[in-house]
Amino acid sequence: MAIDKFRHTISTAVPLPIENVDTDQIIPARFLKATTRDGFGENLFRDWRYDNSDQPIPDFVLNNSIYRGKILVGGKNFGCGSSREHAAWAVGDYGFKVVVSSFFADIFKNNALNNGILPITVSEDFLAQIFSEIEKDPDVKFEVNLESQTFKITSTAVETDFDINPYKKKCLLNGYDDIDYLLSISDKIETFETARAE
């Protein structure tokens, strides 16, 4: 039940310079009625993207064709709020492989990693540089190298390191998922349960 392997990514990015983007904005609750993981991208940022009559709101970045790519760049405290994994599914289903912010809410970060989406935390200054480069030229490309844990603005060649738990890095690069790992240690779980029962 592997996740997709994370590949070296060079892409343009979609800027969303808003702080505290919560999971109710990423995918509003009324779209959580599905029982599968598919199709949530259609309603990603639904209420910022479409008006009450389901017409696209032209000001919103996802409706502006000059912004596109596999990288979403959000403001501080991205993904706060509910634990709904549907938020990560929506981001992934829309086509994003990477989300960059200066700060992520814990649950969103875990959910993203469990779905092969890489959350990259950069400094506030670096985040400001990214936004400013995209503003200058929406076609600017960014290079994400998970092996070396670096994120590069190709136009300026300015690069930053990012942190990722070594276990999660291995999972993303190889497409492993946590359940495979946990199943591989069932004897340890068994031993723990037996010891506690005594």
Partner 1 sequence: MGKTLFDKIWDAHVIDEIEGGPSVLYIDKHLIHEVTSPQAFNGINKRGLKVRRPERTVATPDHNVPTIDQHLPIKDKLSKYQVDKLTENCEQHGVELYGLNHPYQGIVHVVGPQMGITQPGMTMVCGDSHTSTHGAFGTIAFGIGTSEVEMVLATQCILQPKPKKMRITVNGSLKNGVTSKDVILYIISEISASGATGFFVEYAGEVFRSMSMEARMTVCNMSIEMGARGGLIAPDQKTFDYVEGREYAPKGTDWDKSIAKWTKLNTDADAVFDEELKFDATDIEPMITYGTNPGMGVGITGSIPVVGDISSKEVPSFQKSLEYMGFKDGDVMIGKKVDYVFVGSCTNGRIEDLRSVADFVKGKKKADNITAWIVPGSKQVEKQAIKEGIVDVLEEAGFKMRQPGCSACLAMNDDKVPKGKYAVSTSNRNFEGRQGPGSRTLLASPLTAAAVAITGKIIDPRTILQN
Q: Which is nearer to partner 1, 41 or 81 (CB)?
A: 81
Q: Which is nearer to partner 1, 131 or 145 (CB)?
A: 131
Annotate 39-78 with DSSP letters as a single string.
SGGGGTTHHHHB-TTS-B-TTSGGG-TT--SSEEEE-SSB
151: enclosing H helix or E strand: strand 150-153
**CA–CA gap between residue 121 and residue 103 (Å, rounded):** 6
CB atoms within 10 A of CB 156: 10
Q: Any contact of residue 179 with partner 1 (CB under 8 A)?
A: yes
Q: Return the residue of 53, 65, 186, 194 that touches partner 1, per CB under 8 A.
A: 186
Name the segment binding partner 1 (CB under 8 A); options: 23-31, 92-100, 139-147, 151-159: 23-31
Instruction: Pick out residues in 72-91 that bind partner 1 (CB under 8 A).
Output: 75-77, 80-86, 88
Q: Which residues pair with 138 in a beta bridge?
A: none
Query: Which burial class, exposed, middle or buried, applies to 17 when counting CB atoms under 10 A from its CB (0-12, 13-18, 19+)?
Result: middle
Q: Any contact of residue 135 with partner 1 (CB under 8 A)?
A: no
Q: What angle do CA 43, 45, 49 make, to 5 degrees?
A: 90
Q: Return the residue of 13, 91, 105, 130 that touches partner 1, per CB under 8 A.
A: 105
Give the shortest CB-137-to-partner 1 separation in angstroms.
Answer: 22
Write out the residues near partner 1 by the rule CB under 8 A.
1, 17-20, 22, 24-25, 28-30, 32-37, 47, 52, 75-77, 80-86, 88, 103, 105-107, 110-111, 114-115, 124, 165-168, 177-179, 181-183, 185-186, 188-189, 192-193
